[in-house]
Amino acid sequence: MDQFRNIGIIGRLGSSRVLDTIRRLKRFLLERHLHVILEDSIAEMLPGHGMQTCTRKLMGEICDLVIVVGGDGSLLGAARAMARHGTPVLGINRGSLGFLTDIRPDELEARVSEVLEGRYLMESRFLLEAEVRRGMESIGQSDALNDVVLHPGKSMRMLEFELYIDGHFVCSQKADGLIVATPTGSTAYSLSAGGPIMHPKLDAIVIVPMYPHTLSSRPIVVDGNSELKVVVSPELQIYPQISCDGQNHFTCAPGDTLSIRKKAQKLQLIHPVEHNYYEICRTKLGWGSRLGVQE
């Protein structure tokens, strides 16, 4: 009995290459007599498709597998929606980097066939949940697969805040902002701000100050079950922004508290059987290749 019968397709909008790949994927899945469900926003770009459509929110409830055609940004958005249902996600890369969407369009049929036949690697990736509170009131909340970022928005002013980990005061800090990243997000914004690369299997969170006022401020790696609290200085003259995966944004005020913790539900991310994390890093980050030495 096939493990994946109801297969959802999510695609990045505004790209003819993505639409071409989705048409090819749809045709391939229908030839295998599978039930294909298109996300409603991408379905509008495919007139006459004849497929069932649904919202992204509903897709996690009715699909056995969701295939994302696009870049890592597309997969981040899908991940936040699918994690709550435990629906596995597979990425076909139509973006640039492709740390998460690791199937090339030219190998679509071969790799998707392997997955449908049960030959794949499944990884659990944890997400973060962030909430901003103003006194007793919740001002905003969102999830992030990559990172939660406190930043000044359009202002050029430096931020000032206090950091607490598991209720313990760590430090007060002046900086351009703060990045709190998962291992998945350690190769994204966190990396460009000087954070470490963390293997996806690590149960850890990295806290990276952005251009801190004090040169001794360095990234801190803490246990993945840590509860973080960032208190925005009441004396601050601007209203900072919180961004989750660079996609969901909300504004906080001086004196607000940002709480960050691991989300209970995890993303189930599918890779081809030959997936190699270090090869991905070597290719995407331009690391040196072998010297030709025989092993």
Residues 6+ away with beta carbon under 8 Å from 193: 179, 208, 209, 210, 211
From 20, 72, 102, 176, the catalytic residue: 72
Do 192 and 209 contact (CB within 8 A), yes or no? no
Do 62 and 9 contact (CB within 8 A), yes or no? no
- At position 63, the amino acid (one-letter code) is C
| Other Cβ atoms closer than 10 A to 20 | 13
Question: Is 203 noted as a catalytic residue in this protein?
Answer: no
Give the chain's radius of gyration (CA, Å).
21
70 to each of 77, 78, 256, how far by Cα in Å?
11, 11, 36
- Separation CA 91–CA 85 (nearest Å): 17
From 81, 111, 80, select the one nearest 93 (Cα to Cα): 111
CA within 13 Å, CB half, 23: 11
69 to each of 4, 100, 266, how far by Cα in Å?
18, 11, 21
- At position 131, the amino acid (one-letter code) is E
Residues 6+ away with beta carbon under 8 Å from 215: none
Q: What is the DSSP letter of 195?
A: P
Active site residues: 72
